[in-house]
Chains A and B, each alone.
Chain A
Amino acid sequence: MKIGVFICHCGENISSTVDCPRVADVCRTYTGVEYSVDYKYMCSDPGQNLIKDAIHKYNLDAIVVGSCSPHMHERTFRNAAVSAGINPFMVEIANLREHCSWVHDNIEAATRKAIELMRMAIEKVKRDKPLTKIKVPITKRVLVIGGGIAGIQAALDTANAGYEVVLVEKEPSIGGHMSQLSETFPTLDCSQCILTPRMVEVHQHPKIKLMTYSEVERVEGFIGNFKVTIKKKARHINEDKCSGCGMCITKCPIKKKAYNSFEEDLAFRPAVYVPFPQAIPNIPVIDETVCTYYKTGKCGMCVKVCDREAIDFGQKDTIHVADVGAIIVATGFKLYNIDKKSADSKYKGYGEYGYGKYRDVIDGLQFERIASASGPTSGEIKRPSDGRVPKKIAFIQCVGSRDDSKGISYCSKICCMYTAKQAMLYRHKVHDGEAYIFYMDIRAGGKMYEEFVRRAIEEDKVKYIRGRVSRIYEEDGKYIVKGEDTLAGMPVEIDADMVVLATAMIPQDGAESLARTIGIPYDKYGFFNEAHPKLRPVESTTAGVFLAGACQSPKDIPESVSMASAAASKAIILFANDTLEREPVVAKVNEDICAGCFYCMKVCPFGAVEVKDVKDINGIVYKEVAYINQGVCQGCGTCTATCLSKSIELAGFNNEEIFAEIAAL
């Protein structure tokens, strides 16, 4: 093997503490080194030409460059090597700048260390093997999980680019939280009015397969080649026959046994229902838990009134499998339930606020429903307890958010804005009403956001009090809100008729288990982790899985929509090629010595290890060995260290190469 060694001075960055000519001289004495040279700027065009010329002239098989960190210029030198006809993986970089010249003062010590680093790299390159990039085919179809505004946007963008989309939503209708909102900040346009056309577009789009009332059960495979198992829950309505006339809903005798979750439990719904009138698809669902038929076998009123015979009490959950190339996760958020007695919350509630005890202490989404023209009060601001118009409302921000003692340290980001909006809406609807807002800080970063808050204060006379609320209790039909005005340095008490709590945004139920199903990491709150907080904000660390909306962190509508479009374009970029090229740094099993213990399977973070049958000449299986799916493997090498029989090697970092480096220490 003929090796070329190239030592870069990096101007004076390396040569000021490392004697580069001496390093080159010593390297020249090593076995296998055919050519060794130092140069002022190896990464410059003349520097690269020097490498290329040397490769041609000396017929080199491999090169070692002593320069800056491989994270800087590995690609540069590999490309240079490729253009001179050497495999890019026959290039090793010794980090003489970040790890040597910049961190040491003593020229002798630094030079010796540089020589040793070079020696290690030379020993490694001797054992490097030419590798070729792996090609995997791509299924050009996207799975979008979640049918809120983020999921809708991602689905539409991908579909409009000409790719098929499977949109899975666990509720009976798409629309998500945005469909519940009354008006949106900072423009105060009606949420339903801007959302409904999008929902209809999804429904009618020939490229989008909409699966509502469905959940993702299993995800197998890898980027470009996922196989997804989806459970479609039984609606007990034949979707092909149902015309959405709503007769069954009108005639259902069970009117008051179940709360309407779309109305945030402020209203009842029948046993057969659509979540809201504009639901997409407009097909009802029968709630088995309250329907009389499932209890007594009687009633069947819906069957009688349905002239299309669409009611199917015997309908079962069905399982569907979809092959997709990319997954966009857009599962969104829910509000932290501060009811102390609530069992589903992993966080401690605020018992002292009386949420759950006092009916007029409500959360932000409940207020949205009260303020919504399509809500239970037809848009009139009324108290849930007695239907009176509240003359004084206290809004409390940061309930849960930014409170370490409750386990949520982050800012929910949207509450400052929506509280200002809600107070504004209230003042528009109840002219003699007083609105008080308890806040910690006003975070109104965004286009027209600060102006909006100023408008609430200046035009709509919303009274902002900077301070926390310690307690809310009922006295003579009023809610006494005790808090502190930290700017005045005084305790305050407000006798409000209604209290609205801006509770923290937390990940949607089941987010963590979904993350485990897909194989993406999540943070301690259950928000999905992006691959890089700044430079790869819409990708997960699992290749081919993208994130959109509030499932990644609290977000408002414009941010969710932009993230959704970004996720869609990531998928579209992926689909621009027919096959996928990726780094060949993957693990491979030596089947001859694999003992079949499958410890590797247990430690693989990506589920890349499969069981493979080894057959004898007669086609009879005589042993099972591990097989690593090259498309799924991300090349961490955890399996190689775990393997007892040392039958797994990570390409580019195999044991032989590392041992050579160690030996050259």
Chain B
Amino acid sequence: MKYGYFPGCSLTSSAKEYDISLRKVIDKLGISFDEINDWSCCGATSAHVTNHKLSTALAMRNIMLAEQQGLDNIIAPCAACYNRLIISQNEIGKHTGIRKETEDLLSVKFKKDVKVFNILELFLKSGLNKIIENRKRELSELKAACYYGCLLVRPAAITKFDDAEEPESMEKIVEATGADTVDWNYKTECCGAAHSIARRDIVVDLSKKIIDDAITHGANVMVVACPMCHTNLDMRQRAMKRKYPDHKEFPVLYLTELIGLSLGMDEKELGIDLHYTNFKYADTLLNNSAKG
């Protein structure tokens, strides 16, 4: 099965390493995909809070492009892109008025039912066995706190593939890489999201709570699948350190990076060195086990 790939703006900028690692991992696992030609904004954040019509049309434009490219499935790694795409698709499916309006705006007729997947669904669908079979590195010393944030498995009525309040699909994937997972409390708490720009203080407090809870429950790494979450949890650790001097740097990895590590790729290859926090302290752990 061939997937359409919709990177979205984050994966070409602040979350470049997400894009890099995703492409590497997918390639290694033998999943093929085509980037959607001429993709545009998904309609998130500014569009969807100001102009409903625009946000739907932007999202549907990308789905339309995929349809025209002959693709049946789209992967949207960014949680916000994923959310915008499925919600817009759901709305035009339910309301003929919105459908017509959007079709008129884009001068097309939607025919096919293009399926939109996020990263979790992709790995669950393509088979965890592929990851297990291709494992090159022993990661059992990693105790991962899987962080879903607010959007990855929501809204529950549409996503359906996991329990919105108590999700566990990411744990399944992380366990397939050989890393351990911890049972913790904050997996769907708010990281502060777009407050990162205007109210950094809120983000620092919220994200600090999340990291602290992960540490309390014995985690030594956090795994995320959302560029916004990663930005807040990773980049804002400096600000955390300033506000809470006893804060200890805590590594935050993209799910794809963790899979990449287990498949034997090194940090540079996966773009882990682009993070603000240092993953080096786990270096020995990785190197040791890579030899073994």
List residues of chain A with CB under 8 Å of any chain B CB.
340, 348, 350-352, 405, 470-471, 473-475, 480
Contact = CB atoms under 8 A, between A and B. Distances in A.
B185 A351 contact: no
The 8 closest A-B pairs by CB, nearest first: A351-B166, A473-B185, A352-B165, A352-B166, A351-B163, A351-B165, A340-B166, A405-B156
Contacts of B185: 471, 473-475, 480
Contacts of B198: none
Contacts of A351: 163, 165-166
Contacts of A471: 165, 185, 188
B197 interface: no
A340 B166 CA distance: 9
B166 A405 contact: no
A631 to B, nearest CB: 49
B156 A340 contact: no
Contacts of A350: 165-166
Given A351-B166, A405-B156, A474-B185, 9 more contacts: A340-B166, A348-B163, A350-B165, A352-B166, A405-B157, A470-B165, A471-B165, A471-B185, A475-B216
A483 to B, nearest CB: 13
A340 B157 contact: no
A620 B216 CA distance: 86
A475 B166 CA distance: 17
B181 to A, nearest CB: 15
Nearest to A470: B165
Interface in B126-169: 156-157, 163, 165-166
A351 B187 CA distance: 12
Interface residues of B, number: 8
Nearest to B183: A357
B133 to A, nearest CB: 29
A643 B166 CA distance: 54
B150 to A, nearest CB: 12
Contacts of B156: 405
B251 to A, nearest CB: 23
Residue of A348, A350, A352 with most chain B CB atoms under a 10 A cut-off: A352
Contacts of A480: 185
Contacts of A474: 185
Contacts, number: 22
Contacts of B165: 350-352, 470-471
A351 B185 CA distance: 11
Nearest to B184: A473
Nearest to A482: B189
A350 B163 CA distance: 9
22 contacts: A340-B163, A340-B166, A348-B163, A350-B165, A350-B166, A351-B163, A351-B165, A351-B166, A352-B165, A352-B166, A352-B188, A405-B156, A405-B157, A470-B165, A471-B165, A471-B185, A471-B188, A473-B185, A474-B185, A475-B185, A475-B216, A480-B185
Contacts of B216: 475
A620 B99 CA distance: 71
Nearest to A473: B185
A473 B182 CA distance: 14
A343 to B, nearest CB: 15
Contacts of A470: 165
A559 B290 CA distance: 69
A430 to B, nearest CB: 27
Nearest to A404: B157
Interface in B166-196: 166, 185, 188
A540 B67 CA distance: 54
A475 B184 CA distance: 10
Residue of B157, B163, B188 with most chain A CB atoms under a 10 A cut-off: B163
A463 B188 CA distance: 28
A292 B157 CA distance: 49
A348 B166 CA distance: 11
Contacts of B157: 405
Contacts of B163: 340, 348, 351
A198 to B, nearest CB: 43
A206 to B, nearest CB: 55
Contacts of B188: 352, 471
B264 to A, nearest CB: 34
Contacts of A475: 185, 216
A517 to B, nearest CB: 35
A244 B161 CA distance: 54
A380 B41 CA distance: 61
Contacts of A348: 163
Residue of B156, B163, B185, B188 with most chain A CB atoms under a 10 A cut-off: B185
B232 to A, nearest CB: 19
Contacts of B166: 340, 350-352
A475 B215 CA distance: 13
A480 B213 CA distance: 13
A474 B185 CA distance: 8
Contacts of A340: 163, 166
A495 to B, nearest CB: 13
A352 B165 CA distance: 6
A352 B163 CA distance: 9
A655 B185 CA distance: 69
A229 to B, nearest CB: 43
Nearest to A476: B216
A475 B183 CA distance: 12
A396 to B, nearest CB: 14
B214 to A, nearest CB: 13
A221 B5 CA distance: 65
A177 to B, nearest CB: 29
Nearest to B167: A351
Contacts of A473: 185
A536 B91 CA distance: 43
A622 to B, nearest CB: 60
A474 B184 CA distance: 9
Nearest to A475: B185
A348 B157 CA distance: 13
A96 B261 CA distance: 84
A627 B190 CA distance: 69
B154 to A, nearest CB: 12
A350 B156 CA distance: 13
A345 to B, nearest CB: 14
B206 to A, nearest CB: 12
A350 B164 CA distance: 10
Nearest to A405: B156
A473 B166 CA distance: 11
Nearest to B163: A351
Interface in B238-269: none
B242 to A, nearest CB: 26
A346 to B, nearest CB: 16
A122 to B, nearest CB: 50
